[in-house]
Amino acid sequence: MIDINIIRNNRELVKENIKKKFQEEKIKLVDEVYELDKKVREYKIEGDELRKKRNDISSEIGSLMREKKIEEGNKRKEEVVEINKKLENIEAEEEKLSLEIKEKMMVIPNIIDDSVPIGKDDSENVEIEKFGEPIVPDYEIPYHADILESFNGLDKESSGRTSGNGFYYLMGDAARLSSAMLSYARDFMIDKGFTYCIPPFMIRSDVVNGVMSFSEMDAMMYKIEGEDLYLIGTSEHSMIGKFKDQLIKAEMLPITMTSYSPCFRKEVGAHGIEERGIYRVHQFEKQEMIVICNKEEEMDWYNKMWSYTVELFRSLDIPVRTLECCSGDLADLKVKSCDVEAWSPRQKKYFEVGSCSTLGDAQARRLGIRAKGENGNYYVTTLNNTVLASTRALIALLENNYQEDGSIKIPKVLRPYMGGKEIIKPIK
């Protein structure tokens, strides 16, 4: 949610930003909010004047009663009653208009950074940089589900019986390898100075509305029937929600945290759930990072965060690239975002394994997260980034470490988490 002062002082900036995001149907909301806000401010002025008048009359009534001017005092009391009725109507109208403003403001997109490329959708995202040589070996690399099944590592038939499509059993060395990657990612971030956290895996609707737009929520979140609780789609949601309605001492900033959680996603949309493999599923595990900082530090942290993900994947012998998300591909709360994509030697192309975003103060405004500084209180800036998402990272590792004999070479950094094992061999 943007600052209402931007609409008060620079409506054209907000409208131009909406055009950049190809959401012209929302332009009318800017003028609607402006007019509603003007009415609210008029009501506030009128209400303040009435309260002052009421206070003056109340003081006068006290004097009249002390002077035994009972009749005159009672007449003045009647005036106070009328003022109270007017105030009641004004306050009710003010509250009604304020709610209407909030509803409209919640769907007006955040102001994107000037560096964001303009484009309609993800097909117009822009490659920034490649890290590592994207190699295609001279032998065939099987589909990742076939690799996993070659060492009895994946059972989707059983998960189909227990849970339906979009779920899976990871077994044996595959399950251990997935856990090893998550443990390594955890320790990697702790070594970067981030505080480790395991957050709640369910959050209330007011937190959901604070961290994401309604359209995102509707496409992603599972709701617990009969409860005001949602299963998290990423631990960023509960990690940012941790600071809801908090006033943070400025000297505590930046706050840097890394969190583990399972993630649950409906994955509603054109892509669909993957039938055989584990690329797009309803459930996976994730190591995440969040930063809460001052506006001045925003871009420094943004660049540090995506670079940590690149560094981690390179340590797993996986080539990656970074991709700048264009304006039309940015969720409404985001100021700037980039994807980290891993190389798929089987498909001979890159695929998304993580996303880094700064949301400016949009989440902080929705959730009431402020810092207490020398010059008063102010809204903080929030950022989030994927360290490692279990299923996609596992696919990238399998393909890039697949050997001609069907075995999987385990990267050196993971071997301590695998009991010293250096290779996983197919079961003949």
Instruction: Assess whether 99 and 206 both reside in one domain.
Output: no
Query: How many Cβ atoms from other residues are within 10 Å of residue 129's Cβ?
Result: 11
Name the nearest CA neighbour of 93 among 128, 162, 41, 49.
41
What is the share, in percent, of the chain residues with pLDDT greater than 70? 98
Instruction: Examine the fold and report which residue of 80, 105, 130 is the final residue of a domain before the chain moves on.
Output: 105
Instruction: Assess whether 83 and 224 both reside in one domain.
Output: no
Q: What is the pLDDT of residues 376-405, one digit of tens each?
A: 999 999 999 999 999 999 999 999 999 999
pLDDT at 61: 82
Is 113 part of a structural domain of the chain?
A: no
pLDDT > 90? residue 66:
no
| Domains contained in the chain, number | 2
Instruction: Assess whether 134 and 216 both reside in one domain.
Output: yes
Instruction: Assess whether 389 and 313 both reside in one domain.
Output: yes
Q: What is the pLDDT of residues 313-333, one digit of tens each?
A: 999 999 999 999 999 999 999
Q: What is the pLDDT of residues 30-46, one digit of tens each?
A: 999 999 999 999 999 99
- pTM for this prediction: 0.90
CATH of the domain at 32: 1.10.287.40
Q: What is the pLDDT of residues 121-162, one digit of tens each?
A: 999 999 999 999 999 999 999 999 999 999 999 999 999 999
Is 110 part of a structural domain of the chain?
A: no
pLDDT at 270: 52
Is 222 part of a structural domain of the chain?
A: yes
Average pLDDT score, the chain: 93
CATH of the domain at 291: 3.30.930.10
Among 67-81, 177-191, 202-216, 260-274, the range with the most confident prediction by mean pLDDT is 177-191
Is 117 part of a structural domain of the chain?
A: no
Q: What is the pLDDT of residues 265-301, one digit of tens each?
A: 997 655 667 778 999 999 999 999 999 999 999 999 9
- Domain range for 76 is 4-105
